[in-house]
Amino acid sequence: MNYTEKTKLIQTRAAALLEAGEVSYVLGWGATRFADKTRARFARSPEEAATLVYNEHCTQSLAKYLVDDRWPETRIAILARGCESRAINRMIRDNQIRRENLLILGLPCEGTDAERCRSCRAHDPVVYDELLWEPNSTGAAAAAELSRYYRADAVDALSAAEKKAYWDDVYARCIRCYACRNACPVCSCRECFVDMHRTGFQGKRHSATDNQTFGVTRAFHVGDRCIECGECERACPMGLPILAQTQKILKEIEALAGDYEQGLDAAQDNYLGAFDLDDKDDFM
């Protein structure tokens, strides 16, 4: 099925849902004046449903927008690929959104222009109310072009001195626009610690130290809940390898705890947020 046919299916289903008043809006993608850019589109009427598009330029994951509307009057329909669906599971687990508020229209995905799609292990949605077309024949974990921890592996291969130089360079280039945070579906604090200037947690000054304080704190706060969608990197205007940090945390957790992947269902605990009386404490 090509993108034109898929777009048609999306438009038809969205229009029917809106016509029937089953949802308050359908969250999908719409066109911009640029052929290679799409934008989140909140279709509120059957007419607006006809403006939804679906193609390889739908690089943005839509899940984050769900926190803008935590208490919708009627259900929200969201177009969800693997990445959106895993984000939804994790956001439900974090009590950010409620499953009963959502009508999830599953879109088995073949990947987009975004680099993160080249390491995707979950092309097909893991949670949905209906699938709009047949799942990928290769299954959910379609063979990825890049290894799961490709960024972290590349950094791990560096010497200590090289690593320091690598991260110094990254944080010198960070402009602290917070696009990574704002795009990340698991960065869900109502008020981020960096916005609490009056607490003194984080200076607002542009300096590699302050940039690193933000980046590392954020990485640890989301690391064990990261659903590996890569929105952080996609959003970064400076092209920084932000995924390297959360991949590293996931990689270490996997080394400690075995198979570890977030967002596969809505009941999963996050490793660093759970404890057991039998936990190793040999560091104490």
Partner 1 sequence: MDNKTITITKDDLATAIRALLPAYNVYAPAGEGERLAFAALDESRLGAINLTGSPVIPPKELLFPRSESLYTLDPETGAATVPEIAESTLIFGVRPCDLRGIENLDAAFLEKGYVDSNYAKRRENTTIIALACVTSPYETCFCESMGGDPLAAKGADVLLTETKAGDAFTAAFQTPKGLQVKLLWDSLAMDCGSAPAMTEGSKPAMTEGSKPAMTGQHNTLRVTKPDDLPQRLMAAFDDPHWAVLSEACLGCGTCSYVCPTCYCFDIDRESGAKEITEYRCWDCCMFSDYSRMAGGHNPRPTKKERLRNRYLHKLAYFDERYGMTLCVGCGRCIAKCPASLDITEVIEWGGGAL
Binding site for partner 1 (CB under 8 A): 32-34, 37-42, 60, 64-65, 68, 173, 175-179, 181-183, 191, 195, 197, 203-207, 234-239
Name the burial class of residue 12, with classes exposed (0-12), middle (13-18) and buried (19+) by CB atoms within 10 angstroms of its CB: middle
**Beta bridge partner(s), residue 40:** 29
State the nearest-atom distance from the C-beta of 281 to partner 1, in Å: 36
State the nearest-atom distance from the C-beta of 238 to partner 1, in Å: 6
For partner 1, the closer of residues 111 and 241 by Cβ is 241
State the nearest-atom distance from the C-beta of 200 to partner 1, in Å: 8
What's the chain look like in SS3?
CCHHHHHHHHHHHHHHHHHCCCCCEEEEEEECCCCCCEEEEEECCHHHHCCEECCCCCCCCCHHHHHHHCCCCCCEEEEECHHHHHHHHHHHHCCCCCHHHEEEEECCCCCCCCHHHHHCCCCCCCCCCEECCCCCCCCCCCCCCCCCCHHHHHHHCCCHHHHHHHHHHHHHHCCCCCHHHHHCCCCCCCCCHHHCHHHCCCCCCCCHHHHHHHHHHHHHHHHHHCCCCCHHHHHCCCCCCCHHHHHHHHHHHHHHHCCCCCCCCCCCCCHHHCCCCCCCCCCC
For partner 1, the closer of residues 45 and 136 by Cβ is 45
For partner 1, the closer of residues 151 and 181 by Cβ is 181
For partner 1, the closer of residues 36 and 162 by Cβ is 36
For partner 1, the closer of residues 21 and 239 by Cβ is 239
State the nearest-atom distance from the C-beta of 126 to partner 1, in Å: 24
For partner 1, the closer of residues 142 and 243 by Cβ is 243
For partner 1, the closer of residues 126 and 243 by Cβ is 243
Q: Please, how many CA atoms are within 13 Å of residue 108, restricted to the half-sphere of its CB?
A: 15
State the nearest-atom distance from the C-beta of 81 to partner 1, in Å: 17
State the nearest-atom distance from the C-beta of 122 to partner 1, in Å: 21
State the nearest-atom distance from the C-beta of 227 to partner 1, in Å: 17
